[in-house]
Amino acid sequence: MLPLHSPFYVEDLERTVLQCPEPDFFSSEEPMDLYYKILSVDADIERTADVTYPASSVFITFETEEMQRRVLKEMTHPKLSKSVVDSRYKFEGLVLEITEPDEPSSIRWKDLDELESVSSPVKFDIFSCYFEETFSHILIIDTDHSTRCHLYDHVRAHCVRGCYHCSCKKQKHYMVSDFDCYFQLSHPNGSEIFDFLRVSYR
Amino acid sequence: MVVRYLTSFESHIDETSYTTSSYIKVTLLRWVNTAIVTAVISPFAYTIADGDYLIKSVRILFTAELAQRPILQLSDIAGNLKRHYFAPRAKDQRRMNLLFSTAPYSIGERYTDVTKLLFLTCFYATLFPSAWFFSAAILFVYYWVDKFCVLRVWKQGPKINGNISIYSVYFFLMCVITYAVMGTYYMAMFPFDNVCETDEVVPGDYVGVYELGTNGNAFTYVSTNSKAYKYCDQDLFRYKAAFPPFPSDQPDGSEWMSEIQLKFLPIYARSCIGIISAVGAIVAFRFFIKFALPLFSRTRYMSQGRANEEAFSDVHEIVGYIPHVTIPGHAFPFLMCDITHIDDELIGWQRDNVNGFNTLIDKSQKNRMAENPAFSQVMHWPPSDANSSPKVAQVPVPASAPELIDLAISTRKQKVKGRFSNLFSRS
């Protein structure tokens, strides 16, 4: 905290931080530590801002519900016959996946760039691990030693895969370009990301 | 908490999907921990015995459901502590405001409680018929407690759609199957004592008067004409694995079923098969409609009801799709887009009249963002503008938003905010 009655500089973060006294032994974080963290975050933002990112989802709000329904009706195609879709309904040759989204307060903006082909295996692995872990305890009560070990191995195999995916997901957000994992392999440059259009009437 | 942590690793495009995923996991966990494990760990021969055995455990479970959750929910211990003890001692206004904030209303949690109760009832109702009355009382209490909390305690959560109720239908159908299956097994395994009557009489050595129990207040007399009994395994569920159980599944020479059981068990068993088949057909039909039909049919979008004639710009209460992120430690979300060119009403909330909106975009970087939009872009063409042809709000979301936001969140959230807005405001 700044000393009482001393001037502080809104424009100059460093000068202000330098005025702060040294914290005592029990203080959680020093102002300078916080300052360096801010610099580090700024550097990360600078670095990531230099990369070009394609759009992952587009939300369109129509003036009337009639307009929204018309678009949904005209542009919703069977999944197996996308090749026969009229070219006027395509965006740069791409058939857009059009859905009616949830309310604005319900959208999870940080997860929108995840392709379904990427997120579904993760969900499956996490769920199967969870399911087996939950129900295996019941079976273990009534099984002999070898069956129990086999069961544990099976559960562990699933859980390890699930954890690996979890780790990938976490890393994806922190280390954009360096981490070579499932997600990066699935869509290395995001070139196929823009295939989703969410149409709503608000 | 475990489920919430696990689900946080999954990617869900909206809160409906996230809530549904948590709901399924929590429900399975509660079903297992409450009903199934209780049955599995109880010795078979003590299933309906007097004393501290299965029936008493089930009664305790129902009593706990009736009392525990309402007491915890109404007393709101953590909330009261935060509001009355920690909030007056908060170091600044922001932290005090946060302490007055409560948990949001979760429809998934409410559904989980109901499905768990229904499953518990269906699982034990044949053995413990008063489960239905307990269940009715608990649902009555839940209704009023939840109503009070929705109106007085919890804050409003995200507006999710009705998807979660569709999944609940599957859970309710599973409860119906559980009732049919468990009812059939309980009918078959009664009287749960692993004892079968033989045609022989007891040997002379056993004739006499015997004390029953440990307190010695009951006696029984074994006469020379008394029938002899032998051990027989009645657990058709675990060791015989007979499904559905019929009277013919009894081992030869070790039959224990009474005439009533012999008469009604086949009816129960066939009904059980019928119910499972019917539920299976319903589930298969629903899966076909949801997953198979969209592959080759154009009927993927079905409008419901008549289109609302009121225009978007005429209704001020409804808002636009404005990308934002909630950062722990802050009462209001942070915007992930430049809102210079849109109407503030589209955002739907405002921190206060003085400070406006929290935004993650540094004002000095706005021009650069315009050249290479790392954050989301929001466009608005109001209908009053005669020159603009499309009257739409458009929100493209670049893939970079998660990376940028998580970079910010990865360091101490409360401090990072200062870089973007008012670290030195001393408010």
For residues A77-98, average pLDDT: 80
**Which of B32, B161, B393 is facing A134, going by the closest CB pair?**
B32
CA A2 to chain centre: 38
- The enclosing H or E element of B382 equals none
Query: For residue A39, what pLDDT is reported?
Result: 85
- Tell me the mean pLDDT in the region B200-213: 85
Q: Over pLDDT 90: what percentage of chain B? A: 34
Mutate to test the interface with B, among A13, A51, A112 (most CBs of B within 10 A): A112
DSSP secondary structure code for residue B346 in this structure = G
Segment among A18-32, B36-50, B287-301 with least mean pLDDT: A18-32
Q: Cβ B41–A141 below 8 Å, yes or no?
A: yes
Question: Residue A5 — pLDDT band, cuts 50, 70, 90?
Answer: low
Q: State the pLDDT at residue A163.
A: 56
Distance CA(B119)–CA(B117), nearest Å, equals 5
Nearest CA in chain B to A105: B158
pLDDT of res. A124? 78
The model carries a pTM of 0.78
Confidence (pLDDT) at A75 = 83
Looking at residues B251-272, what average pLDDT do you find? 92
Distance from A110 to chain B by nearest Cα, in Å?
Answer: 5
pLDDT averaged over chain A? 69
Partner B contacted by A86 (CB < 8 A): no
Exposure pattern of B224-234 as b/e (b: 16+ CB <10 Å)?
A: eeeeeeeebeb
pLDDT at B354: 58
For range B261-289, the mean pLDDT? 94
Q: What is the DSSP string of A124-163?
A: HHHHHHHHHHHHHHHHHHTS-HHHHHHHHHHHHHHHHHHH
Task: List the single residue in A with minimal CA-CA distance to B315.
Answer: A202
Place A56 in a pLDDT band, splitting at 50, 70 and 90: confident
Interface A–B counts its CB contacts (< 8 A) at 254
Residues 6+ apart with CB under 8 A from A71: A60, A62, A98, A199
Q: Which residues of chain A make contact with B397, given a CB cutoff of 8 A?
A: 55-59, 109, 112-113
User: Is A41 within 8 Å of B411 when comparing Cβ atoms?
Assistant: yes
Residues 9-38 of A with CB under 8 A from B: 9-10, 13, 16, 29, 34, 37-38
> For A179-196, what is each residue's pLDDT tens digit?
344 433 333 343 333 334
- Give the pLDDT confidence score for residue A143 in this predicted structure: 59
Find chain B residues with C-beta within 8 A of A54's C-beta. 398-399
Residue range A71-94: average pLDDT? 80
What average pLDDT does range B135-148 have in this prediction? 95
Q: How does residue B37 score in pLDDT terms, banded at 50, 70 and 90?
A: confident
List all residues 6 or more positions away from B167 whose beta carbon is below 8 Å from its beta carbon: B20, B23, B24
- Select from A2, A12, A39, A61 the residue whose CB has the most chain B CBs within 10 Å, as the one to mutate to test that interface: A61
Give first-to-last CA distance, chain B, whole Å: 35
Q: Quick one: which of B262, B261, B281 has its CA closest to B273?
A: B281
Residue B31's pLDDT band, with cuts at 50, 70 and 90, is: very high
Q: Please provide the average confidence, as pLDDT, over all residues in chain B.
A: 82
Query: CB-CB: which of A45, A81, A111 is closest to B11?
Result: A111
Give the minimum alpha-carbon distance from A47 to chain B in angstroms, rounded to a whole number: 10
Alpha-carbon span B277 to B271, nearest angstrom: 10
**Mean pLDDT, residues A157-175:** 52
3-state class of A33 per DSSP? helix
Residue A111 Cα distances to B16, B279, B334, B423, angstroms:
13, 35, 16, 29
Q: How far apart, in whole angstroms, are the C-alpha atoms of residue B36 and residue B28?
A: 10
Q: How far is B255 from chain A (nearest CA, A)?
A: 25
- Residues 139-158 (A) with a CB less than 8 A from some CB of B: 141-142
Question: How far apart (Å, rounded) are the C-alpha atoms in residues A28 and B91?
Answer: 15
When pLDDT is cut at 50, 70 and 90, the band that residue B144 belongs to is very high
How far apart are alpha carbons B221 and B201 in whole angstroms? 14
**In chain B, % of residues over pLDDT 70:** 84
Contact partners, residue B150, CB within 8 Å, separation at least 6: B105
pLDDT score at B270:
95
B120, B61 contact by CB (below 8 A): yes
Q: Contact, B244 vs B237, CB < 8 A?
A: no
Q: In which element (H, E) is residue B7 found?
A: helix B2-7
Which candidate, A159, A165, A164, A156, places its Cα nearest to that of A121? A165
Q: Which residue of B has its CA nearest to A34?
A: B415
Write the pLDDT tens digit of every residue in B156-196: 888 888 888 988 999 999 999 999 999 999 999 999 988 88
Given a cut of 60, whether residue B331 has pLDDT beyond it is yes
Please report the pLDDT score of residue B186 as a whole number: 93
Of A108, A119, A126, the CB nearest to B14: A108
Is residue B382 predicted with pLDDT exceeding 90? no
Contacts with B109 (C-beta within 8 Å, 6 or more apart), sequence order? B23, B26
